[in-house]
Amino acid sequence: MAKELNNLTIAEASKGLKKGSFSAVDLTESCLSAIDKKETEIGAFLEVFKEDSLNQAKKIDQLLAEKKKLPSLAGIPLAIKDNILIKGYRCSAASRILENYVASYDATVIDRLKKEEAVFLGKTNLDEFAMGSSTENSAFHLTRNPHDLEKVPGGSSGGSAAAVAAGEALGSLGSDTGGSVRQPAAFCGLVGLKPTYGAVSRYGLIAFASSLDQIGPLTKTTEDSLIIFKAISGQDDKDATSRPGRFNKKLNIDNLKIGVPSQCFQEGVSKEMIKWTEQSMNRFKELGARVVSVDLPSLMFALPAYYVIAPAEASTNLARYDGLRYGTREKANSLKESYTCTKSAGFGPEVKRRIMLGTYTLSSGHYEAYYQKAQKTRQLIRLDFEKVFQKVDIILTPTTPTPAFSIGEKIDDPVSMYLSDLLTTSANLAGLPAVSIPVGKEGSCPIGMQLIGAPFSEEFILSAGHYLETPL
């Protein structure tokens, strides 16, 4: 074959399996071989399920031999971010405090992928508790960008992105709270989808900020992204925030209206990203779409609002990690000392920083000044998007304000790191679907463009993204 099996797309691999061009074991072994060759320098995985993945692949081959009709993800090797629970396997969220925690149940997305007969290769690295934009905050090791080993892969789903970009998996799952699927997808040259809030169940996802978190796929193409999204989406009785959604509008490129917010060209967005935005606008125009400038005045307040709301929710969610019920527990002479020692030793610097920020903004005397104002700003952001979607079908922005930055460049400057989320947090605050599409390269660094759609328009924005994507 022209491609190594591990470099196939999910759609290509599924067709090949059903035709008998290769076996599920061949496909899985190809990915495991890439892991053996590349993991030392990339560090995408925290744990590899070598024996179990091969056993699952053998099961698929048996079903194929029996001429069973199989779903599109049957036999497809996938990587899973290590804040999503798989029963019987460790799930650490890249934190020392959960270093030895073994999941006692499956996340809903895992249950649905198991029904699809997908093969799980292992758990991928992330910023601790999904808090970060570079995967440098993992308690265990660094992950590098496969396109340039001196660059970060993005975060917090950096391991999931790096695994797919390096050919170590055909697709992966990540989680997106403020850009944590889309930003690493952009840095690693992948398609990264953040679904509508509620489109995918959060049951079994270790919570960071519950009103913002969403699980989404990282893949090589928009076609693959839609395959995984259809498999994992849908209402779930175990998640009260999940809901069925319907967006019936079909894409017609000749009638497509794309809005580009003037705020995308604000200070902080690099010249390279502005250039690629203009190129993407021109590509859509050449295809017959209409591209217009729109105004999202509240967009400039999205990042500060996010960095009030997300830490506030995190401080509440992470209060449960006390060492008494699960996770690491430090020896101490009293209950209070046990709490203090356990959390001091178990949480890393970035997690501690966000817990303190969140606790402060929720405290008496500061709640109205910070948290309440941030929630009001969130509502203004939602209203601004609603107004714009009365005029256009899709919003186009750069995914990130700059191409991938160097390892160590921002780790000691939290504010600079937080600015990496400048263009992605608004979709989380408004609960909208958004996707990062690879459109080219700037030197060694892939460039991603973001398409934001109306609620439950995942298929619509992926179809539009297909016209932009340049597989790397």
Give 301-352 pLDDT, tens digit per residue: 999 999 999 999 999 999 999 888 777 788 888 888 888 888 888 899 999 9
- Residues 28 and 121 grouped into a single domain: yes
| Backbone torsions φ then ψ of 289, nearest 5 degrees | -75, 155
Instruction: Give me the residue label for tokens 């959604």.
Output: 245
Same domain for 274 and 321, yes or no, is no
Query: Is pLDDT above 70 for 435?
Result: yes
Are residues 221 and 263 located together in one domain of the fold? no
Grade residue 43 by pLDDT with cuts at 50, 70 and 90: very high
pLDDT computed for residue 306 by the predictor: 97
Please, are residues 292 and 396 in contact by the beta-carbon 8 Å criterion?
no
* Rounded distance between C-alpha atoms, residue 366 and residue 50, angstroms: 50
DSSP β-ladder status, 171-176 and 77-81: parallel
The pLDDT assigned to 158 comes to: 98
Domain span at residue 322 reads 305-368
Residue 128 has pLDDT above 80, yes or no: yes
* Cβ count near 181 (within 10 Å): 34
Let me know if residue 246 belongs to a domain.
Answer: no
For residue 427, what is the domain's CATH number? 3.40.190
d(CA 190, CA 221): 7
By annotation, the residues acting in catalysis are 81, 156, 180
pLDDT computed for residue 205 by the predictor? 98
Residue 241 lies in a domain: no
**pTM of structure:** 0.96
Domain co-membership, 80 together with 43:
yes
Q: Are residues 208 and 309 in the same domain?
A: no
Give the closest residue to 397 by CA, choosing from 448, 458, 466, 443. Answer: 448
Residues 193, 324 within the same domain: no
Under a CB-based contact definition with an 8 Å cutoff, are residues 239 and 202 in contact?
yes
Number of domains the chain contains: 3
Q: Is residue 421, in this structure, part of any structural domain at all?
A: yes
Write down the mean pLDDT value for the chain.
Answer: 95
The CA–CA distances, whole Å, from 238 to 56, 161, 198, 204, 245 equal: 27, 28, 12, 9, 17
Cα R_g (the chain), whole angstroms: 21
Residue showing tokens 């969610």: 317
pLDDT at 432: 98
Are residues 224 and 333 both part of a single domain?
A: no
In-domain check, residue 375: no
How confident is the model over 71-80, as a mean pLDDT? Answer: 97
217, 232, 247 - which closes a domain: 232
Decide which of 320, 343, 368 is a domain's last residue.
Answer: 368
Q: Is residue 465 assigned to a domain?
A: no
Identify the CATH number of the domain in which residue 181 sits.
Answer: 3.90.1300.10
% of the chain residues with pLDDT over 70: 99
- The answer to the question of residue 108 being in a domain is yes
pLDDT at 364 over 80: yes
Q: What is the pLDDT of residue 17?
A: 97
Per the domain annotation, does 25 fall within a domain?
yes
The answer to whether residue 1 is domain-embedded is no
Distance (Å, rounded) from C-alpha 340 to C-alpha 343? Answer: 6
Residue 1 has pLDDT above 70, yes or no: no
In this predicted structure, which of 211-215, 365-369, 382-386 has the lowest mean pLDDT?
A: 365-369
Average pLDDT (29-53) is 98
Based on the fold, state whether residues 21 and 88 are members of the same structural domain. Answer: yes
pLDDT value for 64 = 94
CA 51, CA 55: separation in Å to the nearest integer?
6
